[in-house]
Amino acid sequence: MVYRTPTILLLLFLCGYNAAQAETCQWWFQRYGWQKFSVIDVEDCLKKGSPVEADITGGESPLHIAAEVNDDPEVLLRLIRAGAQINGTTKKGWTPLHSAARFNPNPEILLTLIDAGADMNARTNSGKSFIFWMEKNSKLKKTMGYLELLNLYAKNN
């Protein structure tokens, strides 16, 4: 049987295959992908069966990675709505809030996690709070949201 490339491509197109989306989902388990993912990318990958509670490295879930490197709060909310554990921990006891506090310069990411139910009093296995990790995040400390986060923590403790 002889296959013709245009015929195969037409069939793939008619079946809804999208090469760009397929390529996007291959990054589900990589930090690089989560830096770039949009809400649409996350929705497409979830529809294609990408696991919302995948163990990427050391118990990190997609929510941990997104909280660490993605600057769009809607991406995190989409994962949470899909069943991501807001207070799930890594092998070192880090929650997504700890990851965001240490590495993400966008205070809206932390506020989104807190609004969604992240435990502000959770501690890592080494006893560190998200406030401790915020202090290590020099880019976050330069934002107005940093003070808002400190005030929010103070009100709840």
Residue 94's CATH number: 1.25.40.20
Q: Name the domain count of the chain.
A: 1
Query: Is 146 within a domain?
Result: yes
Query: Is 12 within a domain?
Result: no
The encoded tokens of residue 151 equal 């005030």
Compute the distance between CA of residue 8 and CA of residue 85 in angstroms, rounded to an integer: 41
Query: Is 127 within a domain?
Result: yes
Q: Could you list the residue range(s) of the whole structural domain that residue 83 is in?
A: 19-155
Tell me, what's the pLDDT at 23? 73
Tell me, what's the pLDDT at 58? 80
CA-closest candidate to residue 28, choices 13, 45, 11: 45
CA distance to 16, 52, 69, per residue, from 25 (Å): 15, 12, 17
Question: What mean pLDDT, rounded, does the chain reach?
Answer: 89
The model carries a pTM of: 0.84
CA distance to 18, 44, 69, per residue, from 73 (Å): 26, 17, 11
Query: Is 43 within a domain?
Result: yes
Confidence of residue 111 (pLDDT cuts 50, 70, 90): very high
Confidence of residue 147 (pLDDT cuts 50, 70, 90): very high
Query: Is 7 within a domain?
Result: no
Could you tell me the maximum CA-CA distance found in the chain, to the nearest angstrom?
A: 72
Compute the distance between CA of residue 149 and CA of residue 128 in angstroms, rounded to an integer: 16
Query: Is 49 within a domain?
Result: yes
Tell me, what's the pLDDT at 9? 43
